[in-house]
Amino acid sequence: MEEDVKLMKGNEALAHAAVRYGADGYFGYPITPQSEVLETLEELMPWETTGMTVLQAESEVAAINMVYGGASCGRAVMTSSSSPGVSLKMEGISYIAAGELPALIVNVMRGGPGLGTIQPSQADYFQATKGGGHGDYHLIVLAPNSVQEMADFVGLGFDLAFKYRTPAMILADGVVGQMMEKVVLPPVRPRRTQAEIIEQCPWAVTGKRGRGHRNVSTTLELQSNEMEKNNIRLRQTYDLIEANETRSEEFMTEDAEYLIVAFGCTSRICRKAIEDARAQGIKVGLLRPITLWPFPKEAVCRLSKQVKGILVAELNNGQMIEDVRLSLSVGSSVPVCHFGRTGGIVPNPQEVIDSLLSNFPQSK
Amino acid sequence: MKHEIIIAGFGGQGVLSMGKILAYAGLLDGLEVTWMPSYGPEQRGGTANVTVILSDSAISSPVLDTFDIAVILNQQSLDKFESHVKPGGLLIYDPYGIHRKPERSDINCVPINATEASVEMGNAKAYNMILLGALLRLCPMVSPDTVIAGLKKTLPERHHHLIPMNRQAIDRGAEIAGL
């Protein structure tokens, strides 16, 4: 056994990965099912080793505004919460996007709306991918489906956030947060020094430092023609992200006659359903979006031309299915059906097969 | 090789930690493992359960409908999971507190009186390790030595004096299962 293989929860792996990435700060407020993130960080006490700040804020709103402040200074800062808590953060997230600042936000989704349930859900898909906060902005949305990815996407999320100067979100769910699996933790990197931040982030609020001007971070622009320039610049960034950072994964699609599209924990359940369905002679494959925004439109479009039907499986009443439909070619006649469980219910693989067979009886 | 296991009982019986110890032993043996708990308010005095999968190949779903093995520690869990054991599978249960015995004839139902055994050992905390010992005797997916090695690696030094007691509990469970 390799020495660095650990057994831990997704939430714990994420906390370890943040320290190992060299994150400068974590600001959060406890909420099930992601409280282990803050708990693990408190246990690791990184302020004594890497100098990383870990702070339990007085509220989710305070936490996201601490992230806003840290990000303005070019620091690698993050927060995590679960659905109702993430709703509270939305104003701050919009400001961070408007300020063109890098930050990492983690949502370990639970059932909603409202306070809802503490059990797993994927009902925040719209909120994460279509805005959530006000104004014309996007988040880079990464959807892990394993404990390993809960660790790996911390580094990926921060790297993308800094590359494009935009907030990134890890959109996980109660299953991925709470389950334990093997994980190889990412390598330890030192935190960036102040000199490195000044060099790599010329926009950061770091004091005048011999420059002719002060950097100011603001999201207010009362001149419409200036504000539109900001909006156009953001649009250009989003175009670049769509062109370069769309990620997805396929399983048994080569000869598939039917396609399941699923993300996060549901993609794992569907993978098992596909293994079982294949054993019954049903030719079905899986497309798993890894980035929910940008959405893998081209992969959906390509596969839609090959299959007789698409089943979109998610823990909500039908959200990602809209992006699947928008990805089809104009005039495409491939039927797109939905399978969803809500309220915190996690379906088992047989339910997915049953839904596939009832929507596409000819698949058997 | 793949073992899909559900362990279910009351919160506080050591259901989740038994699953974790089993999963960690699997990890030490180089297996793929998942441990998926029920989490939330049901843990406080209500029922708790955990799905553990050990496999020599990648594990797809951590959530399952049917299981090769069920370890059942109370009546509610028996009512809930008896019908979810695959034909030919194994159901281990503690008869203490169970008023309706398992009825399936197409699976191997084995009573392990771990409550009684832990009282005899004078240590209620040995309860889940007795059951684990019985499980590993009936289905040797990992060795008891690996379980102990796992405890040595995961327990803080200050608790290492408890390891011999855990070893005794595992051996006692294996003994009961072998009778």
Q: Are residues A78 and A158 in the same domain?
A: yes
Q: Are residues A262 and A335 in the same domain?
A: yes
Q: What CATH number does residue A345 fall under? A: 3.40.50.920
Neighbours of A237 (CB within 10 A): 18
Tens digit of pLDDT for each residue in B43-55? 556 789 999 999 9
In B65-140, which ranges are continuous DSSP H helix? 75-81, 114-120, 127-138
Q: Are residues A37 and A133 in the same domain?
A: yes
Tens digit of pLDDT for each residue in A150-202? 999 999 999 999 999 999 999 999 999 999 999 999 999 999 999 999 999 99
Q: What CATH number does residue A126 fall under? A: 3.40.50.970
In a domain, A201, yes or no: no
pLDDT band at B40; cut points 50, 70, 90? low
Tens digit of pLDDT for each residue in B100-110? 999 999 999 99
**Mean pLDDT, to the nearest integer, of A269-273?**
98
Q: Which two tokens stand for residue A28?
A: 């959060």
Residue A122 structural domain: 5-195
CA B149/CA B144 separation, integer angstroms: 9
Q: Is the pLDDT of residue B56 over 60?
A: yes
Q: Is the pLDDT of residue B41 over 70?
A: no
Q: Which of A231-235, A326-330, B9-13 has the lowest mean pLDDT?
A: B9-13
In a domain, A228, yes or no: no
In a domain, A216, yes or no: no
Q: Does B28 touch chain A (CB under 8 A)?
A: yes
pLDDT band at A208; cut points 50, 70, 90? confident
Tens digit of pLDDT for each residue in A104-155? 999 999 999 999 999 999 999 999 999 899 999 999 999 999 999 999 999 9
pLDDT band at B112; cut points 50, 70, 90? very high
* A272 Cα to chain B: minimum distance (Å): 5
Q: Are residues A186 and A258 in the same domain?
A: no
Tens digit of pLDDT for each residue in B168-179? 999 999 999 998
pLDDT at A286: 98
In a domain, A221, yes or no: no
Query: Exposure of B99 by Cβ count < 10 A (0-12 exposed, 13-18 middle, 19+ buried)?
Result: exposed
**Mean pLDDT, to the nearest integer, of A287-296?**
98
In a domain, A209, yes or no: no
Nearest CA in chain A to B20: A180
Q: Are residues A24 and A94 in the same domain?
A: yes
Q: Is the pLDDT of residue A101 over 90?
A: yes
pLDDT at A1: 40
Q: What predicted TM-score, i.e. pTM, was given to this entire model? A: 0.96
* Domain regions of chain B by residue span: 2-178
pLDDT at B97: 80
Q: Are residues A113 and A45 in the same domain?
A: yes
**Mean pLDDT, to the nearest integer, of B147-173?**
95
Domain count, chain A: 2
Q: Are residues A349 and A273 in the same domain?
A: yes
Q: Of A134, A168, A195, which one is at a domain's C-terminal end?
A: A195
Q: Is the pLDDT of residue A19 over 80?
A: yes
Q: Is the pLDDT of residue A203 over 90?
A: yes
- Angstrom CA distances, A170 to A91, A103, A361, B106, B144, stand at 18, 11, 36, 45, 39
* B22 Cα to chain A: minimum distance (Å): 11
Contact A40, A12 (CB under 8 A): yes
In a domain, A208, yes or no: no
Q: Are residues A79 and A148 in the same domain?
A: yes
Q: Report the share of chain A in percent with pLDDT over 70.
A: 99
Q: Are residues A252 and A172 in the same domain?
A: no
Q: Is the pLDDT of residue A2 over 50?
A: no
Q: Is the pLDDT of residue A305 over 70?
A: yes
In a domain, A159, yes or no: yes
Q: Is the pLDDT of residue A254 over 70?
A: yes
Q: Are residues A25 and A156 in the same domain?
A: yes
Q: Does B98 touch chain A (CB under 8 A)?
A: no
Topology of domain B2-178 in CATH is: Pyruvate-ferredoxin Oxidoreductase; domain 3 (3.40.920)
Q: Is the pLDDT of residue A56 over 60?
A: yes
Contact A34, A119 (CB under 8 A): no
Interface pTM, i.e. ipTM: 0.93
What backbone phi and psi angles, to 5 degrees, belong to A221? -145, 100
* B84 Cα to chain A: minimum distance (Å): 12
Q: Which amino acid, one-letter code, is at A15?
A: A
In a domain, A234, yes or no: no
- A7–B27 CB contact, under 8 Å: yes
- A181–B35 CB contact, under 8 Å: yes
**Beta-bridge partners for A54:** A26
CA A133/CA B83 separation, integer angstroms: 46
- B34–A350 CB contact, under 8 Å: no
Q: Which amino acid, one-letter code, is at A205?
A: V
Q: Are residues A189 and A288 in the same domain?
A: no
**Mean pLDDT, to the nearest integer, of A52-78?**
98
All residues of chain B having their beta carbon less than 8 Å from the beta carbon of residue A265 are 62-63
Q: Are residues A171 and A27 in the same domain?
A: yes
**Mean pLDDT, to the nearest integer, of B66-82?**
96
